[in-house]
């Protein structure tokens, strides 16, 4: 799918001030970055802007400081790590108001090819409301804007949408392009058979995704906590498993829709069940496996069972395109991670294009050591889900058309 937006390859940034919105929303533990995938993913665009002689001003949000400075959510550790990753100084402009005296002075003194990083954009209360004052502040720093933050593309905030509207050129970066290429091609132009796998906790979170993917894919696999509402809708006892009783009719509709469209809809045929949810989540559990029509009322399904794992793995084997969002069970617990591992393995072994839709599924795949076996792991959970729903992403829409 060709993205009809001006990209970093179409602009000349030499000697210009370029504000580049990245997604540096990385997990931090006691000031240390525990997963730097998002930083690494941002490097190609940053390196391109440096090589072309731009004055590179980076910005991002980190966590949810809710419109005020929170020292534990400062981007200072990111500036330090980017300095190492780029092999050149990334100067940190530590203004609590993001665009303050430090940022202005730093930009003023920049030479071509230098890089600075602004403070957490969500220190500003306007950011998540797309308020004009902050968008104007950001726009005043730059001649050109580049948006490479796919992870926030489903939001209309100052640092992606607001600022885009106030500059002459708002281009998309390489990461944004890559994300849209992979997800867009998979959904709109897939090499078939196209298998979509959905899991995770709640049906309600993924209503539109289920409906949209049913239209696009050849086989839809549903596992994880959300499968039990489907199993109940089919008349099965699901014991204490996760359920959304308000969505039983919706599940019935989806089952009927699959049938009408001639699509395969695969649900768990067995489950790994427990009696008490583990607390802490990785505490030992006593697991018993039951087939889907034989679940006792006092059990809770917390992972797909071995027959289901084999069924799902088999469906993936002949696929040419696979999109996966949401774990198959409570993967945070080693005993309940087996289904998720089996599916990750099946994806790792197929020669299909395999796309992981971010969030918990990306964490699971990386944690289980299959990260480098996937064709693409999205950096945006929420954004990739909205994309799979078929929605237009405001962060992409705001970029300048070609």
Interface with ligand ATP by CB under 6 A: which range of 65-73, 88-96, 157-165, 328-336?
328-336
- Residue 201 or 310 having the CB closest to ligand ATP: 201
Nearest to 350 by CA among 245, 197, 170: 197
**Can 111 be counted among the known catalytic residues?**
no
When asked if residue 305 is in the footprint of ligand ATP (CB under 6 A), the reply is no
When asked if residue 242 is in the footprint of ligand ATP (CB under 6 A), the reply is yes
- Residue 13 or 330 having the CB closest to ligand ATP: 330
Distance CA(354)–CA(351), nearest Å, equals 8
Q: How far is the CB of 199 from ligand ATP (least distance, A)?
A: 6
- Residue 173 or 224 having the CB closest to ligand ATP: 224
Q: How far is the CB of 133 from ligand ATP (least distance, A)?
A: 31
When asked if residue 301 is in the footprint of ligand ATP (CB under 6 A), the reply is yes
The count of chain residues that interact with ligand ATP, using the rule CB under 6 A, is 20
When asked if residue 381 is in the footprint of ligand ATP (CB under 6 A), the reply is yes
Distance CA(135)–CA(158), nearest Å, equals 5
Question: Of 86, 110, 125, 201, which one interacts with ligand ATP (CB under 6 A)?
Answer: 201
When asked if residue 239 is in the footprint of ligand ATP (CB under 6 A), the reply is no
When asked if residue 200 is in the footprint of ligand ATP (CB under 6 A), the reply is yes
Q: How far is the CB of 225 from ligand ATP (least distance, A)?
A: 3
- Residue 83 or 366 having the CB closest to ligand ATP: 366
**Can 192 be counted among the known catalytic residues?**
no
When asked if residue 326 is in the footprint of ligand ATP (CB under 6 A), the reply is yes
Residue 93 contacts residue 106 (beta carbons within 8 Å): yes
Q: How far is the CB of 348 from ligand ATP (least distance, A)?
A: 18
Residue number closest to ligand ATP, CB atom: 359
**Can 38 be counted among the known catalytic residues?**
yes
Site string for ligand ATP, 86-115 (x = CB under 6 A): ------------------------------
Residue 228 contacts residue 300 (beta carbons within 8 Å): no
Interface with ligand ATP by CB under 6 A: which range of 111-119, 157-165, 207-215, 321-329?
321-329
Residue 296 contacts residue 271 (beta carbons within 8 Å): no
Question: Of 46, 62, 330, 377, which one interacts with ligand ATP (CB under 6 A)?
Answer: 330
**Can 224 be counted among the known catalytic residues?**
no
- Residue 79 or 295 having the CB closest to ligand ATP: 295
**Chain residues 338-367 in contact with ligand ATP, contact rule CB under 6 A:** 358-361
Q: Find the catalytic residue in 136, 202, 263, 391.
A: 202
Residues near ligand ATP (CB under 6 A) are 200-202, 205, 224-225, 242, 301-302, 325-327, 329-330, 332, 358-361, 381
List, by residue number, the catalytic residues. 38, 202, 359, 382
């Amino acid at each position: 799918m060709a993205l009809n937006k001006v990209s970093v390859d179409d602009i000349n940034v030499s000697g210009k001030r370029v504000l580049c919105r990245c997604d540096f929303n990385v997990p931090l533990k006691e000031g240390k970055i525990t997963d730097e995938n998002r930083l690494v993913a941002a490097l190609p665009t940053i390196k391109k802007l440096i090589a072309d002689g731009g004055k590179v001003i980076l910005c991002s949000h980190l966590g949810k400081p809710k419109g005020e400075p929170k020292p534990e959510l400062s981007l200072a550790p990111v500036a330090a790590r980017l300095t190492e990753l780029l092999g050149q100084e990334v100067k940190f402009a530590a203004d609590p108001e993001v665009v303050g005296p430090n940022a202005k002075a730093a930009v003023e003194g920049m030479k071509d090819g230098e890089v600075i990083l602004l403070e957490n954009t969500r220190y500003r209360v306007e950011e998540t409301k797309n308020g004009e004052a902050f968008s104007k502040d950001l726009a005043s720093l730059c001649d050109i804007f580049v948006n490479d933050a796919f992870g926030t593309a489903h939001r209309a905030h100052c640092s992606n949408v607001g600022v885009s509207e106030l500059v002459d050129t708002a281009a998309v970066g390489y990461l944004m392009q890559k994300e849209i290429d992979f997800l867009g091609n998979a959904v709109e132009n897939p090499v078939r058979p196209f298998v979509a796998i959905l899991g995770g906790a709640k049906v309600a979170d993924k209503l539109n995704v289920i409906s949209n993917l049913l239209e696009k894919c050849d086989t839809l696999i549903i596992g994880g906590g959300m499968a039990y509402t489907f199993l109940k809708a089919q008349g099965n006892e699901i014991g204490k498993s996760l359920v959304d009783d308000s969505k039983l009719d919706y599940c019935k509709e989806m089952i009927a829709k699959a049938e009408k469209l001639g699509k395969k809809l695969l649900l768990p045929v067995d489950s790994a069940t427990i009696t008490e949810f583990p607390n802490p989540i990785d505490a030992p559990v006593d697991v018993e496996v039951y087939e889907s029509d034989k679940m006792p009322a006092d059990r809770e399904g917390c992972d797909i069972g071995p027959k289901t794992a084999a069924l799902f793995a088999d469906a993936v084997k002949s696929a040419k395109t696979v999109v996966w969002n949401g774990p198959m069970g409570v993967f945070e617990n080693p005993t309940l991670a087996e289904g998720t591992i089996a599916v990750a393995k099946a994806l790792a072994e197929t020669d299909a294009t395999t796309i992981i839709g971010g969030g918990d599924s990306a964490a699971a795949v990386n944690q289980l050591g299959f990260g480098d076996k996937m064709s693409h792991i999205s950096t945006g959970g929420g954004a990739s889900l909205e994309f799979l729903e078929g929605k237009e992403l405001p962060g992409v829409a705001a970029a300048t058309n070609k």
